[in-house]
Amino acid sequence: MPISEHQLICNGKYEILRLLGEGGQSRVWLAREVKRGLEVAIKEPLPVLSPVEREELEMRYQRELRLSGRIFKLEVPNVVRVLTVDDHEGEMLLVMEYCAGGSLEDRLKRGPLPVDEAVRIALEVLAALHVAHEKLGIVHRDIKPSNVLFTEDGHAKLADFGLAQTGESGRSMGASQAHPGTPGYKSPEQERTLGYLNPASDLYALGCVLFEMVTGKMYQRVRPGTKASSLCADTPGWLDAALEKALQEDVWERYETAEEMARALGAEVREAGAARIAAEARVVEEKRQEQARPEQEERRKAEAADGTAEEGIRRKAVEAGVPEAMKTTDDVSEGEMVLESVPRVVQTKPRFRSPLTVVGPLLVLAGFGISFSGYFYVSLSALVLGLVLLLAARLSRPKSGSTNGEDGDAKGDRARRYWTWIAVGGAIWVIGWVVDWSFGGNVEWAIGWAIVGVIGGVAAIWRLNKERG
């Protein structure tokens, strides 16, 4: 007796909830396992099958259960798990994991998918095929949209290994039976040859599915070699190239393994994704700068009003009598003023605290005292005074980049004042005293010229200070 909705089957083990879909040989029901409350999918053979067809279908159920157990041991996440086979009134049923997201066939009824989503689904199917091909030696032979199911969160899973070619299939080059499969998705060798298929056959079928996901049209119903971009303008060139390789008529011109095809698709997806992310980041940054611009303008106005902008600082510095205003520079990226130095007060009339202010006059008076002994001491005085002048000039020379409380310019001004005092005063005394002595001068005249020299040096310093403000 055929199964119907709200029926309890298998001795009350399962409650039928609703019909999920129907194929050429079976229909699939959504059921609830009563004991655990677990939702499962139950596949039931159609009543119209002949005894031979029914027997073949039951053999497929048994094969799928065995393969599912082997795959489950490898913890493959992208394969629909077969839980068990059960019996209802003499009819064998296949109990499977329920995928609440429906099938790819259902999705394609609403139209083609975005390229990113189509490639993601293909990559998840390739992950299942990689394990089946490389670790179990299985060729699925029935890759099609109705065998790609989705979990509730949208991940793709490959279903129905009932037609899979295994090592126990017993095929040879002389086999008389054609390969099973679904027309429109069979590879050329699956259609035309009888011997063992290799993994490239499944990759051709997946290429057909990927083409259909992107364009909404079955590949084998369009002209061979048609590019997906000619039917869907959004198809990128790299996907055209990947499909061209997967859909080659010659099996040896296709991708050899699922891993190779996945690597090609994944690399292109990552590159395209990185370019898209970079473009989106540029747009976000431009918007951020645009939104920040009014705030920056308001900040500049506030700084100018508060006297913290450059012009305000200079104005306040001038009002305070500071000759050198604060230096600022514009930070172009943020539009903010950055301080490069702090205000500093420079003495316009430095106080002379150098030892030269005392040593200079003492040396002048010492030379005067030595001159009482005669012409020899006159010459000695002049020589000593000359050496002292040279030493004073040397010691008072400003050092570039000095940091001892004054910069080079300030020390240079002080040195020039010392030099002027000693040079002018000393020169007046030496020249006046020597000339006077030559004409028979005496001690009083020598003292007088020394006083005149000191006064002349002071007068020269006063004049220099006045010129420099």
Q: Indicate which residues carry an active-site annotation.
A: 142
| Distance in angstroms (rounded) separating the CA atoms of residues 148 and 208 | 13
Q: Which helix (H) or strand (E) holds 336?
A: strand 336-339
Tell which residue, 208, 209, 268, 273, has the closest CA to residue 237: 268
- Site of tokens 């590949």: 219
Q: What is the DSSP code (8-state) at residue 441?
A: -
DSSP 179-228: PP--TTT--HHHHH--S---THHHHHHHHHHHHHHHHSS-GGGS-TT--G
Q: Which amino acid is at 261?
A: M
| Neighbouring-strand partners of residue 156 | 150
3-state secondary structure at position 32: strand
- Site of tokens 């020299």: 453
Give the max Cα distance, the chain.
158
Phi-psi region of 137 (alpha: psi -120 to 50; beta: other; left: phi over 0): left
Secondary structure string (H, E, C) spanning 123-176: HHHHHHHHHHHHCCCCECCCCCHHHEEECCCCCEEECCCCCCECCCCCCCCCCC
| Neighbouring-strand partners of residue 99 | none
Sign, CA torsion 438/443/446/452: negative
Q: Which two tokens stand for residue 243?
A: 């499909």
Q: Alpha-carbon Rg of the chain, whole angstroms? A: 51
